[in-house]
Amino acid sequence: MKEKLSDLYAKDGTKTVLASVLSILIGLAMGSLIILVVGLANPNLGISGAWDGIRLTFAGIFSTGRDAAGALTFGFNSTNLGNMLFRATPLILTGLSVAVAFKTGLFNIGAPGQYLMGTAATLVIALSIPSGTMPGVMVWLLAFLGGTLAGALWGCIPGLVKAFLNINEVLACIMTNWIAANLVTWIFDGSKFRNLVENTKSGYIYKTTYALTQVDGVWTYVDGKGVSTAKMGLDKIFPGSQVNGGILIAIAIAILIYILMSKTTLGYQLKACGANRHAARYAGIADRRNIVLSMAIAGALSGAAAALYYLSSNTEFFWSTYQSLPATGFNGIPVALLAASNPIAVIFTGCFMSMLDIVGLQLTNLTAYNEYITDVIIAIIVYLSAFSLMIKLFLTGRKKRRAQAPVSESGGAQGAPAPEDGTRQEGGGQA
């Protein structure tokens, strides 16, 4: 049994998982310490308030509120769990976007711009097709594919300049991010897609449940005529939450990406180009094509994240805020880092990051703390995840040692005859 455990521990994948888990636990512990210090320093909180905050940090996803006596209660909270899965959907896909680029030696910091372009394409397609002209499933599929394709095309831009002009993809991604932010704002500013039915929401774009419909000879947007992602029975498991089938689609995409990167020739070629594009070219692999393809796949995943989020019918796009960049795209970076760019692990790290969002809301609703303290915890975990390699080395217990050749019984280096006069050969004592 001990031998099996030691063999399991010796595997590189085990150490990677342990390094990520340690990063998370240290981050949560440091966050709890901050909560304790803030609680002790604030007379409105005290030690009991700090203890409540710490418990919510670790188990807030299972909090069911407070009882009649004011004590925290815990149990199966279908609303929290369902909302966690709903929020995890775009995080999983943007995490995959960053992870695929990492695997191929690229840093896709352009996920926010690709996410925005996917948002714009999804909403324009879903809201432009008049109701009744085609089945709702077809409208949903066209909108989803349109958002995915828009993200892929936007991801191609930094891929092309990297492949053919050798311009760093980080610089190109930053530029395309801001171009996307302003382009999307321009597209929706004054457009017919702004919510004019609900006068208080003119800064928003219609949800995809709205559809262009002719009423008394006038074309207008009517709620309930559009499309939304099917619940696929998840609303029965998690009643009262926003969850829908998008999380199942995201998990399926993660599995497909794992198969692509680990089990196919294309995946091998993409990783070979990432390891050393010049060696890959020498081996006959089309390095330029694969660099562009890698960024296109990454962009498509970010675009798919936006499509699933806004096709959910639970969310509205507040167009005027996106003169800045959406946090969802950037949050894919820590999701990929914690998962060590493993597509399957991204599913779990995406759910974990989503859980911290829910915990932040629980802290705000049930204690005197505000939700931003969870941002501090996330920042610590992200910071530690960047040192995951160091943590892996610590777990391995390896130390850098100067490599030496084994010495033969005659005193010389193994494989070299000892000198007849017994003196040490110059340069012969080391490999």
DSSP assignment string, 117-176: HHHHHHHHHHHHSPTTSS-HHHHHHHHHHHHHHHHHHHHHHHHHHHHHH---HHHHHHHH
- In angstroms, the CA 134 to CA 216 distance is 21
Place of tokens 């440091």: 30
In this structure, which amino acid lies at residue 46? G
Minimal CA–CA distance to 151: which of 107, 193, 187, 119?
Answer: 119
CB 305 within 8 A of CB 97: yes
Helix, strand, coil shares of the chain, percent, nearest 5, are 65, 5, 30
Minimal CA–CA distance to 158: which of 101, 117, 110?
Answer: 110
Dihedral sign computed on CA atoms, order 278, 284, 285, 289: positive
Minimal CA–CA distance to 143: which of 315, 312, 322, 325?
Answer: 312
The residues of the chain that CATH labels 1.10.3470 are: 91-353
For residue 12, the model assigns a pLDDT of 65
Minimal CA–CA distance to 94: which of 353, 312, 323, 317?
Answer: 353
91-353 belongs to CATH 1.10.3470:
yes
- In angstroms, the CA 338 to CA 309 distance is 22
Place of tokens 């008049």: 130
For residue 114, the model assigns a pLDDT of 96
Beta bridge partners of 212: 221
Q: How far is CA 355 from the centre of its chain?
A: 13
> What pLDDT tens digit does each residue of the chain (431 aa) get?
655 666 655 666 677 788 788 888 888 888 888 888 888 888 878 888 889 889 988 888 999 888 888 889 999 999 999 999 999 999 999 999 999 999 898 999 999 999 999 999 999 999 999 988 889 899 999 999 999 999 999 999 999 999 999 899 999 999 999 999 989 988 888 778 888 787 777 778 889 999 888 888 788 888 888 899 999 999 999 998 999 999 999 999 999 999 999 999 999 999 998 888 888 888 888 889 999 999 999 999 999 999 999 999 888 888 665 567 888 888 899 899 888 889 999 999 999 999 988 988 888 888 888 777 777 877 787 777 767 667 766 766 654 444 444 544 444 444 444 454 444 444 444 43
- In angstroms, the CA 355 to CA 59 distance is 10
Furthest-apart CA atoms within the chain: distance in Å: 112
Quote the crossing angle between the two packed helices 265-275 and 246-263, to the nearest 10°.
Answer: 70
Separation in Å, CA 112 to CA 40, 179, 250, 271, 315: 39, 11, 18, 24, 18
For the entire predicted model, the pTM comes to: 0.86
